[in-house]
Amino acid sequence: MIKNVPKVVFMGSGPFALVVFKFLLHMESIDLDLVITQPARSVGRKKLLQMTPVGKFAHSKNLKIVEASNSTQILESLDFSDVDLVVCVDYGVLLKQEVLDAPKFGIINIHPSLLPKYRGCSPLQAALRNGDAATGVVIQKMVLAMDAGPIYSQQHYDLDSADDIESLADTLANLACHDLEAVILGIVSNSLDPIEQEGAVSFCGKVKKEDGLMDPTVHCATEFVNALRAFKLWPGVTIDLDEKKLKLLTFNKVDDIELSIFEFKKINKSVYLGVKEGTLELMEVQPESKKPMTALAFYNGYLQND
């Protein structure tokens, strides 16, 4: 039985982490008043400094905030002598052993995949891009090797065809919260032991701009749709057209229209694109160096006289 309320520090940065952070703040069984997050960064044309989503919310709640971009800065900025446990979610930095050992009960990490599948920084995008039927989220003990630590809790999720990067992130972050309090209290009471990962190990790297570049002569309609689900926020789905890039902002796969590969066709007020093994109905596109526009406006202005 826990005699004292455990002192917990939260470490995270992005929107996925923010969901978990808000949940922890409502837990009366822990003491959480300090947050470690990535430093504010300049954004936009005016290069204005902007805090991370977690940092911004923590500031609004008058919590203590440590902005650190590496292990050295963390150790220089924080005394871990009274910290029982650190909860790390989407922090974005590999931590050194000195940091992992600093809290009394170490650091736990929330990772949105069924480990050991998709160790790395883009498991959400990987599951969607690959058209996986299922994924999940784990709470694991953080170790020096990337996402290799033993698992305290695992939640399974059957993917829906309507899931995209935004909805999946929100679903899995909330799913992780279901077991989080029990895991934290189990760890600090020495009543919960993690289980080593089992199965084939795979990795996913940082998403690059070129990952969103698709080829109608190579990729089928389903692959286009999966790419949009994965890369909707960034980098989007792009094709090469007349030595320029055309971003396909919104589109659907259709089964009742057959076109040649790379053929654009207008039927009534709808615009379609033939790709390998299928057809896409385009709704909104963005030509290179232009503003977003409807597919119909693009067809009439760019393709009508081709």
d(CA 203, CA 116): 8
* Cβ-based burial of 221 (10 A; exposed 0-12, middle 13-18, buried ≥19): buried
Question: What amino acid is encoded at 123 in this protein?
Answer: P
Contact criterion met (CB below 8 Å) for 95 and 71: yes
Cβ density class 31-63: b for 16+ within 10 Å, e for less: bbebbbbbeeeeeeeeeeeebbbbbebbeeeeb
Fill in the DSSP letter of residue 209: G
The one catalytic residue in 111, 156, 178, 219 is: 111
Tell me the one-letter amino acid at 246. L
Question: Residue 103, preceding bond cis, omega within 30 degrees?
Answer: no
Alpha helices in the chain (DSSP H): 15-25, 53-60, 71-77, 97-101, 123-129, 165-188, 221-231, 295-298
Residue 26 annotated in active site: no
Give CA torsion, residues 144, 149, 155, 159, to 10 deg.
Answer: 60
Measured over the CA atoms of residue 188, residue 190, residue 191 and residue 193, the dihedral's sign is positive
Say how far apart CA 145 and CA 248 lie, in whole Å. Answer: 38
Q: What does the block give as tokens for 186?
A: 């189990």
Name the residues annotated as catalytic.
111
